[in-house]
Amino acid sequence: MRQLVFKDLYFLRAIWIFCLGFPALLFITNPSNSHIFSVSCLLSVIVSILLSVGSDEKNDSEKIIASLPIERKEIIIAKYMTFIISTIIAIVLTTAATWIIRGMTLIEDIRVYHPYFYIELKWYTVLGGIIVSFIYIALFLPVYYGTDSKIIRGLFAIGLIIPTTLIPLFVIDEGENRVEDSFGDWIMNLSHVGVSIIGIAGLAVIYIVSMFIAIKLYEKRDI
């Protein structure tokens, strides 16, 4: 299983450059949009998925791996682990790109002439990027492993983008009762601690249930 994860991460090595460059471009062109971070993380995840499954289809990796003495559930678990790692790396690199751009404002008068370089990255914005990324993976992979139809896969890959992006709007309150700017102040409220625990547990349950469904669907497929 570990070798399968390493294989996928090797094919995804080029995505790390994308995760640094693309967010920087989005933030510079539209720095006032608080949803840019979530969109950037989601697109990085989508590109990672496309590269991973694309390389598998191109090299017939699925048939080759299925012929090895490896249980199908191990193949699925390895794929989910790969996307956990790649998503975390994508979020870290997106955050790093944001801070690099913001750090440029400390150089002489750059902030004066280029104020859009100073990007405010709130903690709940990062949280939204995490939620969006993992929910998209949890929704798409069972579809991918449950059918051989490229049309259905493509429709779901595109169709899940908008509803997944809207999820943080219902999870994170940005209205009149907007969460505090400081995560430390927000988490000091005991009720918020409970919300955090439930949220983390809920996200983990969704991911695990998704993996279980993907395993069951994949085991029924003829390869």
Q: Supply the pLDDT for residue 176.
A: 42
**183: closest CA among 132, 127, 119, 100?**
127
Looking at residue 85, what DSSP letter applies? H
Residue 76: which H helix or E strand, with range? helix 72-103
Q: Is residue 19 a contact partner of residue 94, using CB atoms and an 8 Å limit?
A: yes
| CA pair distance 78, 2, nearest whole angstrom | 7
Query: How many angstroms separate the CA atoms of 23 and 15, rounded?
Result: 12
At 91, which amino acid appears?
I
Residue 48 near residue 15, CB atoms below 8 Å? yes
128: burial class by Cβ within 10 Å (0-12, 13-18, 19+)?
buried
pLDDT by residue for the chain (223 residues), tens only, comes to 677 787 777 777 777 777 777 776 776 666 555 577 777 788 888 888 888 887 777 777 777 777 777 788 888 898 899 888 888 888 888 778 777 766 666 665 555 555 555 566 677 777 888 888 889 999 999 998 888 888 888 888 888 888 787 776 665 555 444 555 566 666 676 776 777 788 889 889 999 999 999 999 888 876 6
Residue 55: domain span:
2-220
Residue with tokens 């080759």: 64
pLDDT of residue 211: 92
Structural domains in the chain (count): 1
Q: What is the pTM of this model?
A: 0.79
> Can you give the pLDDT at residue 115?
57
